[in-house]
Chains A and B, each alone.
Chain A
């Protein structure tokens, strides 16, 4: 960085008489100790202690984790600190954000061990290996089984179904501008109806009484009648949530029920794939590579479902019974090419906002 800036910073620091504080601060920052590898991620990142301990045992590296808000913010922070990253590895850039990160050039290519066991359709940067797919998850419309049983209606299955009169006024979704599942749902409709048809679909969906709230918490916890958190006070039996939401509803329930109280409309799913990559300018590149290998290891991959409620990228990773028993397998999710998303993202959100919110 420029000398002037360094001088400015130094002068100000001395003037503040905060050298002690600064020393304390720089002492505490990660990445200096060659035995530590720093992982930068978003708020949803989670891993079992025992699994992390195994990594340290195998490689001798301690893992320091920094989280920077939700996925979008974490990626944007990584882009802002390009060249002088906060850590060595970034985890959690998904296909809706991927090409922005790749375009900014924040990653160093590395082909992680075990990549051959990851299905091709998840490897979106197969040519250069700047990022490694780690997990995937689907955003789908969830339905409240009790409601549809009581009203003797079949729950919807596809995007088209949602336009039917029997589902009028039943769906609550999230604001694309502020919520990641909201945007995913919109992208699903764009994938299904094409760049020319999605706006027409939304006009009809709006006519069929779709309600939009700002965040997933509000939609799912407050409005959705099928979530336990809503205490049955929610009045919307359809909500845009995750394919993993039904198993999570069962989590911790005793005795275990026969089936989850909610189900998934399997034809409304949009797939998000999460990637990890070695950050350019990483202080501990060797440790970073070892960590990337570890993210694709069987231990970590099998830890993923219960920690982050997503599916492991490796084909041979075992998924816990909770997910096989209460979850549904999504065979044909919708996808949009990352470059297309990056190119149109803002415009799509703007169009969606004026179409649906105004």
Chain B
């Protein structure tokens, strides 16, 4: 009798666990469908078309391509420069992350916004600005006769320029919430300052640092514009090669093999990442970051602060300043010539000469839509992944990162041949652009939110449940307030990525709705001082908009956290 009853409730226990799985699957349904439809299917279709010639799989092609010494050279350079760029970025940006996490100083908010600006600028703009700094006739050339263009150093420095914010913003968010008393405890236990940092803080920061490093590696591994502009024709990454084979030669078989190669590399990378995170991730005691921030004390801390400021100025501000300078340096000395020309672009009576204000609104509208999609999809995915689970969950985790490792041209051409029939004939739809941009934004949302969500003590959620909060209320009342900061950072990243996205947008944006980067690239593609100056002016506007959006985000953030 007792046995029989146990049998029944045993089944109920299993049913409860099954319900947990069901909830998770329900949360995953939308992200999964999103990725299946707007990523996996288009990419599989274009790769499939490349590998399947005349209805038969052409796998021999893979061997041919992979044994080509040119391809091997490209592969080696891709890996090498990505590793070097990531290392250099971490080395330069981690002290910056500490400064932003722990120190209070005037102008901090402004600076936080400034460091994020490069990240969202289109590579074509940054490339020109960087050339003006380290290139021939650039600032360094003028002062010391130092030229770095067409050397690998220019590429590495530009990668640091782009990705500084990725490390600073990803790591300092968590760092500011780590309880400094833990490090103090280690110091009391006899650890040196460095030892305490290495044994207590570094492991706690591990997931965030790993996530940031992974992102930087992915960005630089798939680097396209920077390598092309600064590296000259001699340096080529896998991404550049895929682009050429697809867009220029329409050699889909070769492109497919290279895409798969890049895919394999990215997957290996993600597996490595998952492994390190699993080893290191632990429930952390998080505190209000306001408690850990203070003014620097002592010569060492002031030196660190000033050192960081100098790095930011030299590496981030100067190239941007060159850009601004060029936008004002008109034919008759400094002035607003190019800005005025932007306004009168319509007077050329050209159908597609879109006034800059329009490109700006287009960018903002696309950005808002893309951010919304990325937040919904990424937020649901992060919620589903919060509780650690089996292989399936980890697989899903990795899946979300894949779009970062796939060429925009592969996705763009994939869209072209898949989303071409009702009910999904999106090829000329306005929504195609934000959807493509959100694809890149989702990994940011997940990567930024997941470490914080997982760091929330599970018993805090249980405490809320016992007090009568349904799972949804638990998320709203416990998780959301604690991850609000991460959520805003994620939203900022998604928005910024969308503002700066160029590779996919240039294919699919309608000509009467160009985004700012597309408009800039068009202007740069034409001869004449006027066009070039307008490109610089438009880039400056883009820069100001990004900085403004990021600064606004900083404000919202403090206002809301002040509520509690």
A adjacent to B, CB under 8 Å: yes
A interface list, Cβ under 8 A from B: 1, 5-6, 8-10, 12-13, 15-19, 21-26, 28-30, 38, 43-50, 52, 64-69, 72-73, 76-77, 79-81, 84, 86, 100, 175, 177-178, 212-218, 220-223, 227-229, 231, 233-235, 241-242, 245, 248-249, 251-253, 307, 309, 345-346, 353, 357
What is the CA–CA distance of A52 and B531 in the complex, to the nearest angstrom? 24
A67 & B232 in contact (Cβ 8 Å cutoff): no
Which 5 residue pairs of A and B lie closest in terms of their CB atoms, listed nearest first? A228-B529, A229-B532, A25-B429, A16-B33, A233-B137
9 other A-B residue contacts (CB within 8 Å) besides A222-B135, A229-B533, A248-B526: A9-B423, A12-B33, A25-B431, A26-B429, A38-B428, A45-B352, A212-B232, A214-B233, A221-B527
A29 & B30 in contact (Cβ 8 Å cutoff): no
B423 & A19 in contact (Cβ 8 Å cutoff): yes
Known: A65-B511, A69-B506, A177-B248. A86 touches B528 (CB 8 A): no
* B249 at interface by CB-CB < 8 Å: yes
Query: Which residue of A81, A221, A346 contacts B249 across the interface (Cβ within 8 Å)?
Result: A346
Q: What is the distance, in angstroms, from A231's C-beta to the closest C-beta of chain B?
A: 7
Query: Which residue of B36, B421, B425, B528 contacts A12 across the interface (Cβ within 8 Å)?
Result: B36
* B120 at interface by CB-CB < 8 Å: no
B352 & A65 in contact (Cβ 8 Å cutoff): yes
What is the CA–CA distance of A346 and B331 in the complex, to the nearest angstrom? 42
Query: Which residue of B350, B416, B506, B510 contacts A46 across the interface (Cβ within 8 Å)?
Result: B350
* B210 at interface by CB-CB < 8 Å: no
Known: A72-B247, A233-B137. A28 touches B528 (CB 8 A): no
Query: Which residue of B30, B136, B527 contacts A241 across the interface (Cβ within 8 Å)?
Result: B527
Q: What is the distance, in angstroms, from B185's C-beta to the closest C-beta of chain A?
A: 49
* B66 at interface by CB-CB < 8 Å: no
CB-CB under 8 A from A50, the residues of chain B are 349
CB-CB under 8 A from A44, the residues of chain B are 525
CB-CB under 8 A from A73, the residues of chain B are 247-248, 507
Beta-carbon nearest neighbor of B420 in chain A:
A84
Known: A49-B349, A72-B247. A214 touches B228 (CB 8 A): yes
Query: Which residue of A64, A66, A177, A218 contacts B229 across the interface (Cβ within 8 Å)?
Result: A218
Beta-carbon nearest neighbor of B352 in chain A:
A46
B350 & A307 in contact (Cβ 8 Å cutoff): yes
In chain B, positions 411-437 with a C-beta closer than 8 Å to chain A are 413, 416-418, 420-432
B430 & A68 in contact (Cβ 8 Å cutoff): no
* B53 at interface by CB-CB < 8 Å: no
Beta-carbon nearest neighbor of A233 in chain B:
B137
* B211 at interface by CB-CB < 8 Å: no
Query: Which residue of A26, A72, A80, A213 contacts B417 across the interface (Cβ within 8 Å)?
Result: A80
B533 & A222 in contact (Cβ 8 Å cutoff): no
Q: What is the distance, in angstroms, from A26's C-beta to the closest C-beta of chain B?
A: 5
CB-CB under 8 A from A68, the residues of chain B are 507
CB-CB under 8 A from B530, the residues of chain A are 228, 251-252
A13 & B37 in contact (Cβ 8 Å cutoff): yes
CB-CB under 8 A from A48, the residues of chain B are 349-351
B41 & A12 in contact (Cβ 8 Å cutoff): yes
What is the CA–CA distance of A47 and B348 in the complex, to the nearest angstrom? 10
Known: A28-B430, A346-B251. A12 touches B37 (CB 8 A): yes
Known: A16-B30, A178-B248, A222-B135. A216 touches B233 (CB 8 A): no
What is the CA–CA distance of A157 and B390 in the complex, to the nearest angstrom? 71
CB-CB under 8 A from B250, the residues of chain A are 76, 79-80, 100
* B244 at interface by CB-CB < 8 Å: yes
B251 & A215 in contact (Cβ 8 Å cutoff): no
What is the CA–CA distance of A52 and B353 in the complex, to the nearest angstrom? 14
Query: Which residue of B331, B352, B527, B532 contacts A242 across the interface (Cβ within 8 Å)?
Result: B527
In chain B, positions 423-481 with a C-beta closer than 8 Å to chain A are 423-432
What is the CA–CA distance of A26 and B531 in the complex, to the nearest angstrom? 36
B425 & A228 in contact (Cβ 8 Å cutoff): no
B349 & A84 in contact (Cβ 8 Å cutoff): no
What is the CA–CA distance of A354 and B234 in the complex, to the nearest angstrom? 10
* B7 at interface by CB-CB < 8 Å: no
Known: A17-B30, A214-B232. A86 touches B424 (CB 8 A): no
Size category of the binding interface on chain B: 35 or more
* B131 at interface by CB-CB < 8 Å: yes
* B512 at interface by CB-CB < 8 Å: yes
Query: Which residue of A21, A38, A76, A249 contacts B247 across the interface (Cβ within 8 Å)?
Result: A76
Among B233, B416, B507, residue most surrounded by chain A Cβ atoms (within 10 Å) = B233
What is the CA–CA distance of A29 and B419 in the complex, to the nearest angstrom? 12
Please list 16 pairs of residues, one from A and one from B, whose beta carbons are closer than 8 Å in the complex, sorted by A's number. Answer: A5-B421, A12-B36, A16-B30, A22-B426, A28-B431, A43-B522, A86-B428, A177-B248, A221-B128, A222-B128, A222-B135, A229-B527, A252-B341, A252-B528, A309-B526, A346-B251
CB-CB under 8 A from B111, the residues of chain A are none
Query: Which residue of A6, A212, A221 contacts B524 across the interface (Cβ within 8 Å)?
Result: A221
A212 & B233 in contact (Cβ 8 Å cutoff): yes
A217 & B525 in contact (Cβ 8 Å cutoff): yes
B428 & A30 in contact (Cβ 8 Å cutoff): yes
Beta-carbon nearest neighbor of A177 in chain B:
B244
A22 & B229 in contact (Cβ 8 Å cutoff): no
Q: What is the distance, in angstroms, from B95's C-beta to the closest C-beta of chain A?
A: 33
* B329 at interface by CB-CB < 8 Å: yes
A24 & B247 in contact (Cβ 8 Å cutoff): no
A84 & B248 in contact (Cβ 8 Å cutoff): no
Q: What is the distance, in angstroms, from B138's C-beta to the closest C-beta of chain A?
A: 9
B331 & A228 in contact (Cβ 8 Å cutoff): yes
A9 & B421 in contact (Cβ 8 Å cutoff): yes
What is the CA–CA distance of A81 and B428 in the complex, to the nearest angstrom? 13
What is the CA–CA distance of A213 and B530 in the complex, to the nearest angstrom? 22
CB-CB under 8 A from B349, the residues of chain A are 48-50
What is the CA–CA distance of A76 and B422 in the complex, to the nearest angstrom? 23
In chain B, positions 497-543 with a C-beta closer than 8 Å to chain A are 506-507, 510-512, 522, 524-533
Query: Which residue of B37, B329, B350, B506 contacts A16 across the interface (Cβ within 8 Å)?
Result: B37
CB-CB under 8 A from A233, the residues of chain B are 136-137
A249 & B527 in contact (Cβ 8 Å cutoff): yes
Query: Which residue of A8, A64, A69 contacts B507 across the interface (Cβ within 8 Å)?
Result: A69
A248 & B232 in contact (Cβ 8 Å cutoff): no
A43 & B248 in contact (Cβ 8 Å cutoff): no
Q: What is the distance, in angstroms, from B435's C-beta to the closest C-beta of chain A?
A: 8
Q: What is the distance, in angstroms, from A253's C-beta to the closest C-beta of chain B?
A: 8
CB-CB under 8 A from B428, the residues of chain A are 28-30, 38, 64, 66, 86
Q: What is the distance, in angstroms, from B414's C-beta to the closest C-beta of chain A?
A: 10
Query: Which residue of A5, A25, A178, A228 contacts B233 across the interface (Cβ within 8 Å)?
Result: A178
B531 & A229 in contact (Cβ 8 Å cutoff): yes
Q: What is the distance, in angstroms, from A309's C-beta to the closest C-beta of chain B?
A: 8
A15 & B527 in contact (Cβ 8 Å cutoff): no
What is the CA–CA distance of A1 and B419 in the complex, to the nearest angstrom? 12
Query: Which residue of B246, B326, B426, B527 contacts A227 across the interface (Cβ within 8 Å)?
Result: B527
* B98 at interface by CB-CB < 8 Å: no
B429 & A249 in contact (Cβ 8 Å cutoff): no
B204-247 vs A, CB cutoff 8 Å, 1 = contact: the mask equals 00000000000000000000000011001110000000001011
B153-192 vs A, CB cutoff 8 Å, 1 = contact: the mask equals 0000000000000000000000000000000000000000
